[in-house]
């Protein structure tokens, strides 16, 4: 219950973050491409579950179920209540592991499957049968779930297995969780062999050991919660889902002081036509808070890309989203990015490219309906012109061609505005730019040109 409430209420946007950097396809080629790798079966299950993280409560429930199952299986592996509290340690370590947005659910599945097989063998087989089964199970498990089943801390065994988004980082906490099961089981065997058994103490030791573990591990979890990152992800999430009113409520309650927060804040203000009146009431972070330079990572460009898109800078948005997706460290694709790339290609009239993205989204669980609704728009100029978003953005998009790179300038905004003077977004951003730079000369030039 604690895990469920934690991820659903305190950490929901970490789950959304995870979901947006993968695209689970119901497609045999996609599945085969995953399972043919070491640890691929656990990876497949992890990716399958991660698609549900689009809905934080469902994602939290999945994590809670997995961690509970690991605790229960650990308990089942042992028969002494003396170890009741210790059986929570692997789950707590995995909870700690999952606090990091780059830790993937495949690691949790790898631990769970290893434990499940261990339980089955220990409970259902004896003597030589058990030994033979163990000898067979370890290599099979090693292929299916990776080195978690045999937690030897050798880099070359772990690196490249898809437990963590950075392929070159050793997942110490995951290794610790896997190792803890072996240590607890080893302790249990040792004590059982020495026939240390105190049934009278069992209930007391059970509660006591649980309390100790819960307090110690709980404090570790609490100390490692990254609320700052959660807030940044929240802004990104709200921008993605175009929750402009919610953004305004959020910034009214607490002014954002990080770059993504400020970018999203200004975007929401502009979307509601309030940027010029309200911008002075919030942190601005200079002109970087308006349209930051695009960086070569997967996460930070996406809110900026949302601003580009809403401004009508379709090619700039397209490039930014494409690059962000390419920068996903574990080479996965993104449902969010595919959606946006389909939209930019649709607006640009590149219908066959848009169709390609939409065809992929049709193979997903949660983007299928959107793809099916969007496909009939391809090539239907009238429907696109009537569409409240695509029609407007088509009219706002650049008419004159010029070259751009990583840096958006007032000339680009000016060109956008003069291309269509109904584009109030461009107008607000341009004037905000002049306000933030204090460039009166250019402002005057613009105003005279406008008149």
Nearer to another protein (CB atom), residue 186 or residue 286 = 286
- Residue from the set 403, 440, 441, 451 that interacts with another protein by CB under 8 A: 403
Cβ proximity to another protein: between 313 and 377 the closer is 313
* Location of structure tokens 């240590």: 183
Contacts for 90 with CB less than 8 Å, ≥ 6 apart: 70, 71, 74, 111, 115, 177, 178, 180, 181, 184
DSSP per-residue codes, 178-208: HHHHHHHHHHHHHHHHTT---GGGHHHHHHH
Q: Determine if 407 is a binding residue for another protein (CB under 8 A).
A: yes
In 3D space, the residue among 364, 362, 346 whose CA is nearest the CA of residue 354 turns out to be: 346
Nearer to another protein, 250 or 345 (CB): 345
Residue 167 or 273 with smaller CB distance to another protein: 167
Nearer to another protein, 76 or 442 (CB): 442
CA distance 239 to 267: 8
CB of 430 to another protein, least distance (A): 13
Residue from 405, 438, 448, 451 binding another protein (CB under 8 A): 405
Minimum Å gap between C-beta 243 and another protein is 28
Taking the C-alpha atoms of residue 91 and residue 97, their distance in angstroms, rounded to an integer, is 10
Binding-site member from 142, 404, 418, 443 for another protein (CB under 8 A): 404
How many amino acids of this chain bind another protein (CB under 8 A)? 40
User: Which is it for the CA torsion 427, 430, 433, 439, positive or negative?
Assistant: negative
Nearer to another protein among residue 219 and residue 409 (C-beta): 409
Find the part of the chain contacting another protein (CB under 8 A) among 94-102, 135-143, 409-417, 423-431: 409-417
Give the residue, chosen from 313, 342, 346, 371, that forms a contact with another protein under the rule CB under 8 A: 313
Residues whose CB falls within 8 Å of the CB of residue 448, separated by 6 or more in sequence, listed in order: none
- Identify which range of 14-22, 79-87, 233-241, 396-404 contacts another protein by CB under 8 A: 396-404
Does 402 participate in binding another protein (rule CB under 8 A)?
yes
CA distance 26 to 364: 6
C-alpha separations of 382 from 305, 386, 396, 442 in Å: 26, 6, 17, 39
Piece of the chain touching another protein by CB under 8 A; list 229-237, 240-248, 270-278, 400-408? 400-408
160 Ramachandran zone, left/alpha/beta (phi>0; psi -120 to 50): left
- For residues 148 and 178, is the Cβ–Cβ distance under 8 A? yes
Q: Report which secondary-structure segment, H or E, holds 234.
A: helix 227-240
Find the shortest distance in angstroms from Cβ 111 to another protein: 24
Map residues 9-38 to x or -, x wherever contact with another protein holds by CB under 8 A.
Answer: ------------------x-x---------
Instruction: By CB under 8 A, tell whether 371 contacts another protein.
Output: no
Q: Measured from the CB of residue 157, what is the shortest distance to another protein in angstroms?
A: 16
Measured CA to CA, the distance from residue 236 to residue 304 in angstroms comes to 9
213: left (phi over 0), alpha (psi -120 to 50) or beta: alpha
CB of 51 to another protein, least distance (A): 18
Please give the residue ranges that form the binding site for another protein (CB under 8 A): 27, 29, 160, 167-168, 296, 313, 315-316, 319, 322-323, 325-328, 331, 333, 350, 352-353, 355-356, 359-360, 397-405, 407, 409, 411-412, 414-415
């Amino acid at each position: 219950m604690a895990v469920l409430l934690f991820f659903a209420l305190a950490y929901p946007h970490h789950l959304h973050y995870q979901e947006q950097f993968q695209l689970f396809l119901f497609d045999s080629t996609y599945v085969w491409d995953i399972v043919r790798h070491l640890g691929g079966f656990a990876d497949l299950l992890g990716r399958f579950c991660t698609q549900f993280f689009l809905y934080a409560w469902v994602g939290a429930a999945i994590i809670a179920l997995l961690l509970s199952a690991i605790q229960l299986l650990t308990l089942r592996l042992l028969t002494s209540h003396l170890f009741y509290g210790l059986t929570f340690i692997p789950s707590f370590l995995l909870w700690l592991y999952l606090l990091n947005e780059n830790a993937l659910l495949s690691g949790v599945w790898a631990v769970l499957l290893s434990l499940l097989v261990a339980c089955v063998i220990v409970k259902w087989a004896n003597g030589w049968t058990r030994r033979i089964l163990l000898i067979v199970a370890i290599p099979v498990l090693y292929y299916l779930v990776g080195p978690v089943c045999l937690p030897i801390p050798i880099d070359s065994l772990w690196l490249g297995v898809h437990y963590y988004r950075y392929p070159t980082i050793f997942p110490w906490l995951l290794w610790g969780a896997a190792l803890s099961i072996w240590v607890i089981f080893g302790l249990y065997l040792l004590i059982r062999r020495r026939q240390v058994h105190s049934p009278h103490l069992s209930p007391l030791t059970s509660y006591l050991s649980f309390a100790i573990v819960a307090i110690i591990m709980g404090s570790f979890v609490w100390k490692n919660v990254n609320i700052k990152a959660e807030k940044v992800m929240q802004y990104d999430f709200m921008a993605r889902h175009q929750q402009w009113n919610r953004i305004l409520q959020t910034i009214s309650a607490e002014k954002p002081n990080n770059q993504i927060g400020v970018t999203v804040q200004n975007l929401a203000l502009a979307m509601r036509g309030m940027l010029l009146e309200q911008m002075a009431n919030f942190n601005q972070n200079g002109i970087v808070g308006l349209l930051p330079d695009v960086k070569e990572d997967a996460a930070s460009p996406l809110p900026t890309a949302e601003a580009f898109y809403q401004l009508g800078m379709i090619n700039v948005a397209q490039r930014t989203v494409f690059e962000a997706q390419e920068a996903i460290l574990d080479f996965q694709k993104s449902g969010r990015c595919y959606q946006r790339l389909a939209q930019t290609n649709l607006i640009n009239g590149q219908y066959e490219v848009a169709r390609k993205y939409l065809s992929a989204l049709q193979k997903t669980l949660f983007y299928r309906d959107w793809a099916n609704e969007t496909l009939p728009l391809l090539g239907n100029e009238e429907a696109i012109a009537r569409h409240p978003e695509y029609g407007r953005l088509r009219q706002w998009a650049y008419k004159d061609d010029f070259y751009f790179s990583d840096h958006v300038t007032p000339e680009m905004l000016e060109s956008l505005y003069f291309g269509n003077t109904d584009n109030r977004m461009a107008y607000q951003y341009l004037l905000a730019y002049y306000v933030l730079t204090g460039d009166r000369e250019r402002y005057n030039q613009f105003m005279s040109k406008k008149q």
